[in-house]
Structure 1
């Protein structure tokens, strides 16, 4: 889900998911370091079976961020030290879970999304757990009947537009997926690699849903010929290649989230400098789960419960710029105007994703990368 965003995000998937720039950069730095400790002293792992204390290791993507106050309160309430490790984007996260499943790098994971959920379950990296806080808003997004994953947040992956760039260039803004292949928009779009990025895979699935098995490859051939740029992960695409206000690049079209634009609105402004193309979206749910073979399974379950708590759910929109799974949470001012959900996001049957995901990624790679 991936989740976006921006931390203040992000939080974000970024943080625009935005997740906010400062937070995203901070988390990215930690990711490069290999691991980070939040409130940790010596980073020691707990004794197996230890309850009510010790360290619990959270594996997540490099856009994860929550209020430090909430983290401190979690540690005070549970007696646990929360250590965070971020091996990369959502896709890279699942790859690491699979590669290390016989000697897991942590106890609990957050950031497995719709596009990679079935792979994580099929590879046996998760220990089923149903939180007592998992109500109807959570169970509606269940991936299996065992409770292998718990839904935490929801976001629409969509192409974002730098409105100011198009106004200055005197070009009409694109509206549809088909528009992106028009030569008038040559060399303006940056996407993320679906083999390493969960938003990238979500956007690939949007094109599968839009054009079908017989048409999506031709569509990507057209994007390739129209100069599409591919970034490894969301942070690089949004903060390095995109031309938006919080970014450094020169491409005014980027794969991000429908909830990214509010992050870009200056305080007191009434107009957003970016917008999401709501006719290009794929709905992405981000999940948490207890890792099979966790050194601290009790601590892992406590983290899942914490992520579903009212306090964390209320923090998610501001910290990660995605929608909390809890629909009773009051959303930030401006979201109704600048972060509407897609009315009809493209869909792909979960069974089809499971059956064809790897083949679709290989075909995409052959078509776009060569």
Structure 2
């Protein structure tokens, strides 16, 4: 997920990240909806201007809300320049949950595809819905270009378009200088790192959930709660989401934060002190969290949705998405700019849980964590 806009704005008082919500209720209609005190209007329909079809794409707010850096505006301009179609973005406040709720009410999705899915979201969708929200993408012409290690949907509905790796980011100049983060999960428990770590709540944060899953991989299902108990004894600070924790980190409230291994990309672009943006992969591993896209089963323009997904997988488009979204491409064909490749760090080993394992265990793991730590 795009984080540049937030980092640039983060200051002593912190930042509240607000996503503008746009929703639609059907074909050839305009819906105006109050969301967070603002009025948002989006036009739905299979055509605009008489004959030109409209592709309606749901996504998260930061994918589109910074025109100079987010991928969304660039993708819209490039797609419309080549295809005889109009691309309309939807950014509902609740993300994919918006479309889950519509399906539960037997209301059409109002969009053709969604950009920004991960395996945890698919688990939530399949747990809540009896019918399929998305359809297969197995017939895409560029599907074979995707790195098979990033595939996360055994039903082939969601296809990856980028990936991030969860890591520690630390401030080498913290205190008297010369600070360094531990190299292992066990190292985080040393007394010298008491109060040093800022993490996120895994029940409300994607980065927090990924870090929790990495601790489960490292310590096992029978040992991760004991590990977190030891982290708590060492004064780990768990905040609600990534924005909260990164604001605290930027304000030097602690020298280590759970974040992304592409953190130095933005720091270099902004001319920031690189000593404050050092990367550490615990146990020489990073938790991979690929993002995917999928076409809605009730899409008004399914063929156009497929064309857009193939467009997203082109080498030059993959490189542009990765650069603007500060992530890694999902395909093996993209070539990244030298400056980006220099500061975007890939772990020696990627760790992730399969969809099947998450489907059978995720809610139990997060519920057990919340019972032990969320309210204490």
TM class by shorter-chain length?
A: 0.7 to 0.9
- Residues 1:304 and 2:280 are matched in the alignment: no
**Number of aligned residues:** 343
Residues 1:100 and 2:94 are matched in the alignment: no
Instruction: State the match for 2:368 in structure 1.
Output: 363
* Unpaired runs of at least 5, structure 2: 25-29, 31-39, 64-69
The corresponding residue for 2:199 is: 191
Aligned CA distance change for structure 1 residues 311 and 136 (closer, same or farther; 3 Å): closer
Query: Would the aligned equivalents of 1:190 and 1:254 in 2 still touch at CA under 8 Å?
Result: yes
> Equivalent residue of 1:285, what SS?
strand
What's the TM-score, normalizing by structure 2? 0.78
Say whether residues 1:72 and 2:77 are aligned partners.
Answer: yes
Q: How does 1:274-289 map to 2 (within 5 A)?
A: 274-279=277-282, 281-289=286-294
Once the two structures are superposed, residues 144-200 of structure 1 have per-residue CA deviations (whole angstroms, 9 ceiling, x without a partner) of 4542111111221112112222553x5443222223233332333222222232222
Gaps of at least 5 residues in structure 1 are 10-14
Tell me by how many angstroms 1:275 deviates: 1.9
Instruction: Report deviation, 1:68.
Output: 3.2
Q: Is the 8 A contact 1:59 1:86 kept in 2?
A: yes
Asked whether the equivalents of residues 53 and 78 of structure 1 are also in contact (C-alpha less than 8 Å), the reply is: no
Task: Indicate the residue corresponding to 2:62 in structure 1.
Answer: 63
CA shift digits 1:323-359 (9 cap, x unpaired): 1112232223245543221112334354322110011
Alignment partners' CA distance in 2, 1:51 and 1:224: 61
Question: Cα distance, 1:26 vs. partner?
Answer: 12
Q: Is the 8 A contact 2:198 2:236 kept in 1?
A: yes
Paired residue for 2:216? 208
Label 1:230 to 1:57 Cα distance change in 2 as closer, same or farther (>3 A).
Answer: farther
Equivalent residue, structure 1, for 2:245: 237
CA contact (8 A) 2:134 2:296 kept: yes
Where do residues 138-217 of structure 1 align in structure 2 (5 Å cutoff)? 138-144=147-153, 146-165=155-174, 168=177, 171-217=179-225
The structure showing larger relative contact order (alpha-carbon pairs under 8 Å, at least 6 residues apart) is 1
User: 1:259 aligned to 262, 266, 269, which one?
Assistant: 262
Contact 1:203 1:281 in 2 (8 A): no
1:116 offset after TM fit, Å?
A: 3.1
Distance 2:238 2:373 in 1: 9
